[in-house]
Structures are given as structure tokens and as C-alpha cells.
Structure 1
Amino acid sequence: MASGITGAASAAATTSKTGSGTSAQEIAGNFTQFLTLLTTQLKNQNPLDPMDTNQFTQQLVQFAGVEQQLKANDRLDSILASSKAASTASATSYVGQTIESTGITADLKDGAATWTLDAARAAPRAKVTILDAKGNTVGQQDLSLNAGPQTFTWNGKNAAGISQPAGTYTIKVVGQDATGATVTVETGVSGKVSKVDLSGSEPVLIVGTARVPLSSVKGVGLSTTSS
């Protein structure tokens, strides 16, 4: 009988560690089985050879830990549900707002596509390359960047001066300081949020054709006017 109790204890402990693979109901079932086996053994134990008290205590401590973990998991589920509800409410408030987020793609619309460039330090020499959806280079420009955030607007024309079709384009920026050392330049995009996708684990803001995870938002209400 003792081996049966130990087996129930081990099953419950293993179940509690596997997490998402097993439900709380199965853990609770093992706990009930343990109590049933324990009660039966206490009723039918040999008075001349009673249950080892140390083993009995260890099993009780083990299952007390399982019970506490079940309660903790319930509390965590409640906290996660509340957090997701708060995140959803926060995301929907962005609809109609202009946001700035990290990103390398922007929509070319009405002859212009705008990005935010944030240089770690001044970069007197910087090359901006614009790529189309197929990865082809459709525009390049040399410029000087100041330290900090600034906007860059591409006029939608290639090197031959031919206007490119509306769509999504990608920017690459390589910056160098006065000594020729590479300067890190982070890129971001701005735009007005038209709707929110709540189907995934994290809300995603829809800006034009771009999808912006809520965690990527760096600012709200920032101007997209080129400097």
C-alpha cells in the first residue's frame, strides 16, 4: 500500500512540473487518490508494524506543495487574464492616433514614404538604401545625420527619376562618423492606426499595410513631417 501512495505522490509531483501538458483536474485527481490510499492504509495498517512516520510526513509535505502550486497557478491565470484585458483596452485606444514604432518598412503613398532615423552619434557620412518588396534597390541617397532622432522622407523615385508604384518599401541605413567608424542608426516608422488585430497573443496595430506589435510602439502623436 505504501508503494501505491508513493506512486500517487510521484504522479502528482510530475504532473505539477509538466505545466501546460496536463490539466489541473488531473493533478487534483492524483491528490484525491493519494488521500484515499492514505486513509485506507491508516485504517488497515498492522498495529505491530505501523506506517513509517517519516515517510508519512514527507508525503504530506509533498502534496501540500502540489496544492499550493495549484492555487498559485490559478492566481497566475487570473493575473494573465487581467493583464490581457488591460492590454486589449490599451491597444484599442490607439485607433485614430498617430504612432511611432521601431521598424524598417513604410508605405509609399502620394509620392512619399517616411522613416524616423535615430543615430547613436553624429554621422557625417550616411548612405540610405530603399528596397522594394522583392528586395531590389530602387533608391539610394547620401546624407549627413545628426545625433538623435530625425525624419527621412523618400520621394518615391529611383536613380533615373522614375516614380515607383505605391506599396511597402524597406530602408537600410549605414552611417559613419568622422573617423570612419560605423554609427548605429535605428529606424522607425510613423503613421495613423486604422484598426487593431486582437487575434494573437499580443495586440497588433494596423498602420496602412504595416502590422505593428503593441510592444514596438515608441511614441504616440508624433509628427511625421520631414525636417
Structure 2
Amino acid sequence: MDAQQPVRRRTQRERREATVARLLDATIAAIAEAGYAGTSVGEVCARSGVSRGGLFRHFDSRLDLVVAAAERVAARHLEAAADHLAAAPPADLRAALALMRGRHRDRENVVWFELMVAARTDADLRARLAPVAERFFADITRLARRVPALACFPDETLHLLVSSTRNLLDGETISRTLVPEPDVEEARLDFLADFARLLAARRTSASII
């Protein structure tokens, strides 16, 4: 009979990382389900199983926790999109736009919608979230550069295309909870793809002239 292997005790760092992960996952789930206003410290503690004292050992305030959760959502969003691009690069502009839409509609991305709306009237949240959002949006544009169909665009044009599409899909994702228009939504991808092709054609014509 084999001797039982001793159970390795987790290091203090591993325990800390596990606790922080539970708190962030609980915060993300709470914001997605209950909204920013409904995500209290008590709610996060109840969902995570971490005491208030434990929470405040890792985060100085509720705001710090919420901003860290936003950063976690952004990182996951970018990682998922990068993995998809590595495994199956979209064949054309429409496929790339469909991928982008899918990421916008992901359940966790709702956290960003909730926080952006809340930041409109919460100056402290707005000040803390703005640089996080700026980095996130810039990273989305840089990631778009890896899409073969978008590689031809100069930086300024790519930024225009990605930021315009991002804003449009943000609005679509929110409005469709009240008024879903599946036919219009599908046609919208065709419209966006045609718009991107027009930008590419204009650039080609200008370079020939």
C-alpha cells in the first residue's frame, strides 16, 4: 500500500490570490445581476464567503474593489478575444465584426455598461474608471490590428473604425434588452462591413492618386 502523500499547504501568497479572486468574481457577478448600486460590500461578502474584515485587508474601499473588478473584466475580455483570434482568425470583415459583437454581448461585459452609466453621476467612480477605460479601449484597437482584414488600415483610420463600432455595439447591446431587432441587427453587421470596405477603398484610391 502506497504511503499517503502529504497535502501541500498553500503559501500565504496563494491564499491571498485565491481570496482576491473570490472577491473579484463575486463583485463581477453582483454588478452583472444587481447593478452597481446593488453591489454593496455586504453583497460581495455574502457571495464570496469572505468576511468584511477579510475584504478590507485586500481592498481599501468599495471603490477600489469595483475598479479592480472592472480591470479583471477588461483583461478577461481581451484574453478571450485574443484566444479566439489565435485559434480561428475571422475570414473577412463581417466575421470580425460578429466576433466583436459576441464579446460585447458576453455576460461579464454588462459590468462595463453598468459602471459607465454609474460614472456619469459618480465623480469618484468616473475619475478612477476613466484611465482604466482608456487603456481598455486602446488595447481593443491594438488587438484589432491582429485581424487580417483590418491590417491594411493606418492607425488613425483603425481607431476611427474600432471606436465607432465599439460605441455602436455598446448601444445595440443595451437597447436590444428592450427592443430586440434581430433582422436589423444582422443587417447592421453588413452595413459596418461595407463601411470598413469603403474606408479601405478610399485609402487605396488615395495612394494610387
Confirm or deny a common fold (TM above 0.5). Answer: no
- Normalising to structure 2: TM-score of the pair? 0.26
Larger radius of gyration between Structure 1 and Structure 2? 1
By percentage of residues, which structure has more strand? 1
By percentage of residues, which structure has more helix? 2
